[in-house]
């Protein structure tokens, strides 16, 4: 008995549903009867279901899935020839639409498992248009294809094919099997939803490929479906992977593998179909049936309970309800809930009141979750100025980060409430220390001088180092707050204005505080950085003297602080102007320097004032302070203020209108096509009632219609294309309202012969070889009902302007702009509603306007599309005008009802009352609706409420996010996963910008603001990934500098770590230094980039609230904006610590070649290790060489230069 139990366990192990064996000669075989517990390598939508099915696609549109045996197999013999092998598998294809599916699946042998660059909605997930049929692909596949694609020479839409390195089969056959008894061929349908079995056998000696098929219950037929001779030794690599690939497009298909067996040099093990898992039900999932009628009383009670619960919930939510504004989409700081702020301030009680200003009150608060002390500014809601101040602070300080600026942590917008949340400054405002009563603690000189330098540093950042110029417009002691270490921070940005560098601020009102306002500001109302410099000069005098700018209780010679200090300067008694509360305990040279600098900054003439860059250089002793001249000492501010007056300024503008006389040119108008001579081909025809029918519902065909004679488009003698206009009325019918293949295009072409255009693609205009070719010489406006990633289509319902191909130079969602309010209204091209299109080209401005509207509307004044493109090089002198259309795998009919055209004049209007009528098309296939009639009306209400709640919960769960404790103190905007998903089109590969060590970066366009962003999706299976995410959020998330890549926001989702940045259109610097395809940077550009990065590093090391070590400075981490300005990015390795402390780092991180010697030796990073990296970066930019080049000498760039 003691030997029986091990023997029994061994026997059971050998009969498991999954068996895999191999020997020393490389022979291997395995058998999977279901896939539970297997270790297959899956990607994309592929997954193992709970009942053991291998599901390659899950119904997601435009997706792909792969599954591979996890280990590579050795396919070659010692002589290099591919060995014999045999494979069998059972599959099934299911779809919501029983009559049709899109894409199929393939068994594949490939050198690796990486198919990331394969298109998700085409090519069965195996390849893309650029790599299709490339010999370097080295894959062998058996395709089970449910689409007839003319481009791949498919024989039909239900076939088996042998594929070598691409989707063009070397041999194919309609799906089916040969009867063993009679030899008769029997068709099978891949779209039937039934499970089928496939056998693939390759003979290494005979180089014979046999493919056999049968329905599930049958034995393997004796005669193969396909038998083809091909030497796979030219294709399959010595080590290769075996598995399956599939993809979907517009139909929610699901592809399943139920069982799989494989053997090398022998027959694949037989699959016991009785032990296979079951396929799910075909078609849409049936609705559950209600078997009993709910009693009226029970139903009414349930409705009452649900209604009461909803009322209680709504009342609870209404107490803390908030408003969301459009401008918040691009905004950074955290949005607090009113509930949290209410509790933090204990209901805004007076005991927590810190102060009251002109626009509202400020309360101290403590956030419950983080225990963070905050200051909550509650802006007065009855003041219109209050709303302006609120928006001003959110837009300006909300996105500004500097150690000497008060940080805005977040905000809240509630009906009747405008709230801003700041860092809490425990030492209050500076004015309380300057004007305290005798006996109270005052500031010593060192503290005052440090505050002066801090505010100067903050102003320099606002004026020159942030991404925009920010003018504070209210610099004064009461707006300077002191932190726990008595550092000065400039706050209260309620009057701030910001504008682009290199432009002028347009202000028409003088705002600020009397005594701090520059003379020119009072006179003209125009603020500038120099008006801030003036206020800073007054502030500097105020801090040094301990006196207010204007004191009406004093005599005239002492009333104005500037005049009083000037008087002491003239008399040589400048030290007498210093605050007497210092009791002489101060640095005399520094105090006199501060007073002179204050006078220089507050000079009444702007050309005599320094800018803040110069002020900082004076304060840091980098420049000597210029001596004040006799003229500087002669002005009298009081008299200047009394003499200034206000002159009215009138703003006016004029708009010139040009109406050149133009000669009349040919025009054409067609309100019906009966009796009209058009050149027709393909499916195009004229119906008896006068419709131009381009397609007639036949699948995968095309149709064209052209005006019989060409038009002369070029002017003489310039050769440029003349102005022209066209309008037409069209309609598109599709049997499925949400699924429609291809659309219709108006075009101008050199000829009418489009015989080489594909019938099932390219809208009947081109093919895979000539698409986009400049020799095509056609201009088209497409009305497209199919989203094709190959052509970068924006969606499956758009209008586009095309030049020589199907990649639109400009496109827009189909719709129109309302003339009354400017709102955009969507239109559905495939709705079978008649619509009118206007296409206009201005030969002088080369402007193309495309407008769309429902038939019963006048032409909207705002075009749907407006783009500039000179088509003189596109159109030939003689060209034909007409229409083109094609159908794909779906029944569609394309009609043109009326058409007019004019050269050098508007297209004649179409009288819609004279248009022919569209035919009555049969009703579209109705969706399956479960009608459960209940005798009690309240029971129906229960079903509606229950369904709505379930849908709402499912919708919220789909985009469910995680919230972390550290987010409370975080600045940038938290994006919803839903918005980022749509912005990147589902993180599709065609939006992929690059791949790094921790994740991928995608280009995206935010749905509401249309702002272009770069979305970094950090790998969630990497521990380093979460560390990088936190590092970037904590550091760059709160940094703001014009030479640092801005983090717009973030998203934290279960299994997803996502950062959202500014999109840098010019890419990274290294591509310009080393990529031969990129233009070479000029010396001026390189020097500017070096200065930009130096400015950014100075901000990180000295000017932000903490010291930030970047630790990875190199050209690939420097991105370039539209104007080729350098911006430092990628803060994944960044570390930050307090000023005056030492960084604690224990690991050497960075990039070889940029690491300082002491970092490699001690692992301790410092600002100087960043400086070392910056030095290597400077050499690299100047020399155009990498830090280390693998040459014969194997030299480092720095040592090479030194030698």
Q: What is the structure's pLDDT at 381?
A: 56
Looking at the DSSP assignment, which residues form a beta bridge with residue 204? none
Residue 106 CB coordination number (10 Å):
26
Share above pLDDT 90 across residues of the chain, in percent, rounded to a whole number: 40
> Which of 231-240, 419-428, 855-864 is predicted least confidently?
419-428
CB 878 within 8 A of CB 809: no
Torsion angle of the four alpha carbons 1046, 1052, 1057, 1059, in this order, in degrees rounded to the nearest 10: -10
Stretch 134-141: mean pLDDT: 94
| pLDDT confidence band for 324 (50 / 70 / 90) | very low
Give the Cβ contact number of residue 639 at 10 Å.
Answer: 12
Q: Per-residue b/e over 576-594, b at no fewer than 16 CB within 10 Å?
A: ebbbeebeeebeeebbbbb
CATH of 18-275 among 2.60.120.200, 3.30.950.10, 1.10.10.10, 3.40.1280.10: 2.60.120.200
Going by pLDDT thresholds of 50, 70 and 90, the confidence category of residue 63 is confident
pLDDT for position 811: 94
Whether residue 537 has pLDDT greater than 90 = yes
Length of the chain: 1203
| Predicted confidence (pLDDT) per residue in 797-840, tens digit | 899 999 999 899 999 999 999 999 999 999 998 888 999 999 99
Statement: residue 106 has pLDDT above 90: yes
pLDDT at 926: 42
pLDDT exceeds cutoff 60 at 1171 = yes
Residue 1202: pLDDT band (50, 70, 90) is low
Q: How far apart are CA 293 and CA 1135, in angstroms?
A: 66
- The pLDDT assigned to 103 comes to 76
The CATH number corresponding to 1069-1202 among 3.30.2350.10, 1.10.510.10, 1.10.10.10, 3.40.50.300 equals: 1.10.510.10
pLDDT recorded at residue 5? 42
> Looking up tokens 């840091």, which residue turns up?
620
Contact 25, 14 (CB under 8 A): no
Q: Give the lowest-confidence range in 139-143, 543-547, 956-960.
A: 956-960
C-alpha to C-alpha distance for 1094 and 1097, rounded to whole angstroms: 5
Closest of 773, 726, 727, 748 to residue 879, by C-alpha: 748
Q: How far is CA 567 from CA 54, 559, 593, 608, 1196, in A?
A: 91, 12, 16, 19, 63
State the DSSP code for 1018: E
The domain 965-1062 belongs to what CATH superfamily?
Phosphorylase Kinase; domain 1 (3.30.200.20)
User: What's the average model confidence in pLDDT over 1125-1145?
Assistant: 81
CA distance 674 to 685: 11
Q: Is the pLDDT of residue 98 over 60?
A: no
Cα separation values, 1071 from 1043, 1079, 1084, Å? 19, 9, 18
Hey, which residues does 275 pair with through a beta bridge? Answer: none
Q: What is the pLDDT of residue 1200?
A: 56
pLDDT tens per residue, range 926-959: 443 333 444 556 666 667 777 777 777 766 654 4
2 annotated as belonging to a binding site for a ligand: no
pLDDT at 127 over 70: yes
Report cis status (omega within 30 of 0) of the bond before 717: yes
Can you give the pLDDT at residue 1201?
A: 55
* Cα 354 from Cα 1042, distance rounded (Å): 34
Digit-coded pLDDT (tens) for 1075-1093 = 887 788 999 999 999 999 9
Question: How many angstroms separate the CA atoms of 43 and 538, rounded?
Answer: 66
> For 190-275, where are the alpha helices, taking DSSP H only?
none
Instruction: Give residue 633's pLDDT.
Output: 63
CATH T-level fold of 428-646:
Transferase(Phosphotransferase); domain 1 (1.10.510)
Answer yes or no: are the C-beta atoms of 812 and 864 closer than 8 Å: yes
pLDDT for the residue 230: 96
Residues in contact with 893: Cβ distance below 8 Å, sequence separation at least 6, in sequence order:
693, 695, 696, 697, 732, 733, 921
Specify the pLDDT at position 358: 55
- Domain locations along the chain: 18-275, 322-424, 428-646, 667-914, 965-1062, 1069-1202
Tokens linked to 839: 């296409």
Q: What is the mean pLDDT of the chain?
A: 81
CB atoms within 10 A of CB 1194: 8
- Which range among 112-121, 246-255, 473-482, 1160-1169 has the greatest average pLDDT? 473-482
For the annotated catalytic residues, the residue numbers are 474
CA–CA gap between residue 445 and residue 448 (Å, rounded): 5
Between residues 301 and 1085, which one has the greater pLDDT? Answer: 1085
- Residues 381, 385: Cα–Cα separation, whole Å: 9
**Candidate from 115-129, 370-384, 937-951 with smallest mean pLDDT:** 937-951
- Mean local confidence (pLDDT), 1163-1187: 91
Query: In terms of DSSP bridges, do strands 176-178 and 185-187 run parallel, antiparallel, or are they unpaired?
Result: antiparallel
**More reliable by pLDDT, 251 or 929:** 251
Return the HEC string of 489-501: EECCCCCCEEECC
Q: What is the mean pLDDT of residues 1159-1167?
A: 77
Residue with tokens 């004229």: 686
d(CA 74, CA 25): 9
* pTM, 2 dp: 0.41
Q: Domain 322-424 sits in which CATH superfamily?
A: Phosphorylase Kinase; domain 1 (3.30.200.20)
Q: pLDDT at position 333, please?
A: 56
CATH number assigned to the domain with residue range 667-914, chosen from the 4 options 1.10.260.40, 2.60.120.200, 3.20.19.10, 1.10.3720.10: 2.60.120.200
Partners of 998 in the β-ladder = none
pLDDT reported for residue 16: 41
C-beta of residue 53 within 8 angstroms of C-beta of residue 259 = no
**Residues 280 and 95: beta-carbon distance below 8 Å:** no
Residue 1017 marked in a binding site = yes
Q: Which residues contact 884 (CB under 8 A, 6 or more apart)?
A: 694, 702, 703, 704, 744, 745, 747, 754, 757, 763, 764, 765, 780
Tell me the chain's radius of gyration from C-alpha atoms.
Answer: 37
Cα four-point dihedral sign 399, 1140, 486, 352: positive
Q: What band does 26 get if pLDDT is binned at 50, 70 and 90? A: low
Distance, in Å, from the CA atom of 115 to the CA atom of 130, rounded to the nearest integer, reads 14
DSSP conformation letters of 3-51 = THHHHHHHHHHHTSSEEEEE-TTS-EEEEEES-TT---EEEET-EE-TT
Arithmetic mean of pLDDT, 1057-1062: 84
Residue 697 or 5, more confident: 697
Burial readout 323-350 (b: 16 or more C-beta within 10 A, e: otherwise):
eeeeebbbbbbbebebbbbbebbeebee
User: pLDDT confidence of 246, banded at 50, 70, 90?
Assistant: very high
- Does the fold of domain 322-424 match that of domain 18-275? no
Who's near 737: CB < 8 A, 6+ residues apart? 828, 830, 831, 924
Residue 281's pLDDT is what? 77
């Amino acid at each position: 008995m003691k030997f029986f139990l091990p023997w029994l366990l061994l026997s059971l192990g050998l009969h498991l549903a999954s068996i895999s064996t191999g020997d020393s000669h490389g022979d291997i075989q395995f058998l999977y009867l279901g896939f539970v517990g297997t270790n297959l390598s899956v990607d994309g939508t592929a997954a193992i279901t709970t009942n053991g099915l291998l599901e390659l696609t899950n119904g997601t549109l435009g997706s792909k899935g792969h599954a591979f045996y996890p280990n590579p197999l050795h396919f070659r013999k010692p002589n290099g020839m591919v060995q014999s092998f045999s494979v069998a598998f059972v599959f099934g294809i299911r779809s919501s639409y029983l009559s049709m599916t899109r894409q199929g699946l393939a068994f594949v042998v490939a050198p690796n498992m990486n198919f990331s660059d394969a298109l998700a909605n085409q090519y069965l997930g195996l390849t893309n248009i650029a790599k299709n049929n490339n010999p370097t692909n080295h894959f062998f596949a058996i395709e089970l294809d449910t689409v007839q694609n003319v481009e791949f020479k498919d024989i039909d839409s239900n076939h088996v094919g042998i594929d070598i390195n691409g989707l063009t089969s070397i041999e194919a056959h309609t799906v089916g099997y040969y009867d063993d008894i009679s030899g008769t061929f029997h068709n099978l349908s891949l779209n039937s939803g039934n499970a089928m079995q496939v056998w693939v056998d390759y003979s290494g000696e005979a180089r014979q490929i046999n493919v056999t098929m049968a329905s599930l219950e049958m034995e393997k037929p004796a005669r193969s479906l396909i038998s083809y001779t091909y030497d796979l030794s030219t294709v399959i690599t010595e080590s290769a992977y075996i598995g399956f690939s599939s993809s979907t497009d517009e139909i929610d298909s699901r592809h399943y593998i139920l069982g799989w067996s494989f053997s090398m040099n022998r027959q694949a093990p037989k699959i016991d179909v009785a032990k296979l898992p079951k396929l799910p039900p075909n078609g849409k999932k049936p609705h559950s049936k209600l078997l009993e009628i709910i009693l009226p009383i029970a139903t009414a009670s349930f409705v009452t309970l649900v209604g009461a619960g909803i009322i209680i919930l709504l009342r609870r939510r209404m107490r803390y309800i908030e408003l969301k504004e459009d401008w918040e989409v691009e905004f950074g700081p955290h949005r607090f809930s009113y509930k949290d702020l209410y509790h933090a301030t204990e209901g805004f009680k007076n005991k927590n009141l810190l102060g009251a200003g002109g626009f509202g009150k400020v309360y101290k608060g403590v956030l419950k979750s983080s225990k963070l002390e905050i200051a909550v500014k509650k802006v007065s809601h009855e003041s219109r100025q209050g709303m302006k101040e609120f928006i001003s602070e959110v837009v300006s300080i909300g996105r500004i980060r500097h150690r000497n600026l008060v940080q805005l942590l977040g905000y809240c917008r509630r009906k009747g409430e405008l709230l801003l949340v700041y860092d809490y400054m425990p030492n209050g405002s500076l004015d309380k220390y300057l004007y305290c009563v005798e006996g109270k603690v005052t500031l010593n000189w060192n503290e005052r001088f440090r505050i002066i330098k801090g505010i100067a540093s903050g102003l320099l950042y606002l004026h020159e180092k942030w991404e925009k110029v920010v003018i504070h417009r209210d610099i004064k002691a009461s707006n300077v707050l002191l932190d726990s270490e008595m550092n000065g921070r400039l706050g209260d940005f309620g009057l701030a204005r910001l504008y682009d560098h290199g432009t002028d601020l347009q202000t028409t009102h003088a705002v600020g505080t009397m005594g701090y306002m520059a003379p020119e500001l009072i006179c003209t109302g125009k603020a500038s950085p120099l008006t801030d410099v003036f206020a800073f000069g007054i502030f500097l005098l105020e801090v040094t003297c301990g006196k207010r700018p204007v004191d009406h209780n004093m005599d005239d010679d002492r009333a104005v602080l500037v005049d009083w200090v000037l008087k002491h300067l003239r008399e040589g008694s400048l030290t007498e102007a210093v605050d007497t509360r210092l009791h002489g305990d101060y640095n005399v040279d520094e105090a006199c320097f501060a007073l002179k600098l204050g006078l220089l900054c507050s000079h009444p003439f702007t050309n005599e004032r320094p800018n803040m860059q110069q002020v900082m250089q004076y304060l840091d002793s980098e420049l000597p302070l210029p001596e004040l001249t006799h003229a500087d000492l002669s002005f009298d501010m009081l008299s200047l203020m009394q003499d200034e007056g206000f002159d009215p300024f009138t703003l006016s503008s004029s708009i010139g209108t040009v109406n050149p006389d133009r000669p009349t040119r040919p025009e054409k108008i067609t309100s019906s096509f009966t009796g009209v001579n058009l050149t027709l081909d393909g499916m195009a025809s004229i119906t008896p009632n006068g419709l131009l029918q381009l397609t007639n519902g036949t699948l995968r065909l095309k149709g064209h219609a052209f005006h019989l004679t060409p038009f002369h488009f070029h002017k003489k003698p310039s050769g440029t294309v003349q102005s022209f206009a066209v309008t037409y009325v069209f309609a598109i019918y599709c049997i499925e309202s949400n699924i429609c293949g291809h659309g219709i295009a108006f075009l101008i072409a050199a000829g009418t012969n489009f015989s080489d255009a594909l019938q099932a693609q390219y809208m009947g205009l081109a093919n895979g070889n000539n698409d986009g070719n400049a020799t095509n010489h056609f201009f088209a406006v497409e009305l497209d009902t199919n989203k094709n990633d190959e052509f970068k289509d924006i969606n499956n319902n758009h209008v586009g302007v095309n030049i020589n191909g199907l990649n639109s130079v400009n496109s827009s969602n189909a719709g129109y702009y309302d003339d009354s309010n400017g709102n955009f209204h969507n239109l559905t091209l495939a709705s079978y509603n008649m619509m009118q299109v206007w296409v206009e080209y201005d030969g002088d401005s080369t402007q193309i306007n495309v407008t769309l509207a429902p038939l019963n509307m006048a032409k909207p004044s705002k075009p749907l599309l407006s783009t500039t493109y000179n088509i003189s090089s596109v159109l030939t002198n003689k060209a034909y005008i007409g229409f083109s259309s094609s159908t794909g795998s779906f029944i569609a009919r394309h009609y043109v009802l009326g058409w007019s055209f004019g050269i050098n004049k508007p297209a004649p209007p179409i009288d819609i009352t004279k248009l022919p009528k569209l035919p009555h098309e049969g009703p579209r296939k109705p969706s399956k609706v479960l009608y459960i009639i209940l005798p009690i009306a309240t029971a129906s209400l229960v079903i509606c409420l229950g369904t709505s709640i379930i849908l709402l919960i499912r919708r919220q769960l789909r985009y469910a996010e995680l919230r972390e404790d550290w987010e409370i103190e975080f600045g940038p905007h938290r994006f919803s996963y839903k918005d980022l998903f749509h912005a990147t089109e589902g993180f599709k590969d065609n939006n992929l910008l690059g791949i790094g060590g921790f994740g991928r970066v995608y280009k995206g366009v935010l749905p509401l603001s249309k702002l272009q962003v770069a979305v970094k999706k950090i790998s969630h299976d990497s521990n380093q990934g979460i560390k990088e995410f936190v590092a970037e959020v904590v550091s760059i998330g709160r940094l703001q500098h014009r030479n640092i890549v801005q983090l717009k926001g973030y998203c934290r989702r279960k299994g997803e770590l996502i950062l959202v940045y500014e999109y840098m259109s010019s890419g990274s610097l290294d591509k310009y230094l080393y990529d031969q395809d990129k233009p070479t940077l000029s010396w001026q550009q390189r020097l500017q980039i070096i200065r930009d990065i130096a400015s950014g590093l100075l901000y990180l090391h000295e000017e932000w609230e903490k010291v930030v070590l970047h630790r990875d400075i190199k050209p690939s981490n420097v991105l370039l904006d539209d104007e080729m300005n350098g911006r430092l990015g990628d803060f994944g390795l960044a570390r930050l610590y307090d000023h005056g402390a030492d960084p604690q780092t224990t690991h050497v991180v960075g990039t070889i070649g940029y690491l300082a010697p002491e970092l490699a030796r001690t692992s301790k990073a410092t600002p100087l290790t960043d400086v070392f990296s910056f030095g290597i970066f400077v050499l690299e930019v100047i020399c155009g060489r990498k830090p280390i080049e693998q040459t014969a000498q194997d030299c480092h760039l720095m040592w090479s230069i030194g030698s």
